[in-house]
Amino acid sequence: MIGEKLGGKVVAYSNQWFAAAENLIKANAPIRDATKFTYAGAWYDGWETRRHNPEEFDWVVIKMGVSAASVAGCEVDTAFFNGNQAPFISVDAVTLGSDDEYKTAKWEQVIPKMACGPSQKQFFVRPEVTKQTFTHIRLRMYPDGGIARFRLYGKVYPIIPQDISTVIDTASCLQGGVVVLTSDQHFGSASNLLLPGRGHDMSDGWETARSRVPDHKDWAIVKLGSRTEISRIDVDTAFYRGNFPEYITVEAIDDSNSEAPSPQNKNWEVVVPKTKGEADKIHEFDLNCGKSYTHVKLTMIPDGGVKRVRVWGTIDPK
């Protein structure tokens, strides 16, 4: 929810003497080069502050990339910080109208003060999870030290347009879309399908292993952020030039009672029939279903890679 890929950004910080706070929300795994030094000292792929902090804690404020979200827990990764890791952390949250308001905001603690160990991933669960939503997060580090990566988990709540005739992409992770089931994600996570933008290479798309079985199909099921009357579906194979799917189909279902409908559910309806895939292209399919759906299923025949899927439509107020 705060990741750089989602549009999350560092708003402010108390100190970043040894390593920049913006590293906390980078998507790639942290790395270490023990031979690399900077003017400030040893180079670290994370956020690291000066020693001997005279205050109780160092802090960083991060704006979520999504519109707003509840908070269920967080992951604090101290990879390669050993002897200089943050001894303790806590997390606060707030809803702000603008970034500058963090200075006078009344923050709510969502993760209490917890001990951190050296060079490891640690997951901390919010003691009491509610539906209350937030837009900004403050990570505290007691009293100073280093953290490689910071991840926040919860539920995204979409922006409901005042004009219900507004067409939006309800599959987008920024609008609460989420991949709930997939057949395979050997080379790339199916959740990447819902990221904003077209990415920069194949590393942030959905790609499956090469199939060796006749009649094989790979698929991913997306729960839309809102029940949607679909008007268009885009399937983007950007950067997939020798490994795009030979064919694609898209099905949809209206099932508000299920988080993840079975791929074999007989109520799936074909909204995009079997279509020849092409390399490095946005495949646009205009629909006239006249119905609303809660989930879509993208199928690749037999396998391959897709960068993004967009489900455009209007939110059904029912």
The residues spanned by each domain of the chain are 4-153, 168-315
**In the CATH hierarchy, which top-level class contains the domain 168-315?**
mainly beta
On the question of a cis peptide bond just before residue 161, with omega within 30 degrees of 0, the verdict is no
What is the pLDDT tens value at each position of the chain, 318 positions in all?
999 999 999 999 999 999 999 999 999 999 999 999 999 999 999 999 999 999 999 999 999 999 899 999 999 999 999 999 999 999 999 999 999 999 999 999 999 999 999 999 999 999 999 999 999 999 999 999 999 999 999 999 988 888 989 999 999 999 999 999 999 999 999 999 999 999 999 999 999 999 999 999 999 999 999 999 999 999 999 999 999 999 999 999 999 999 999 999 999 999 999 999 999 999 999 998 889 999 999 999 999 999 999 999 999 876
DSSP category for residue 26:
-
Topology match between the domains 4-153 and 168-315: yes
Alpha carbon distance 220, 254 (integer Å): 16
- CATH of the domain spanning 4-153: 2.60.120.260
Buried b vs exposed e over 67-102: b needs ≥16 C-beta within 10 Å? bbbbbebbebbbbbbeebbbeebbbbbbebeeeeeb
Whole-angstrom distance, CA of residue 216 vs CA of residue 139: 46
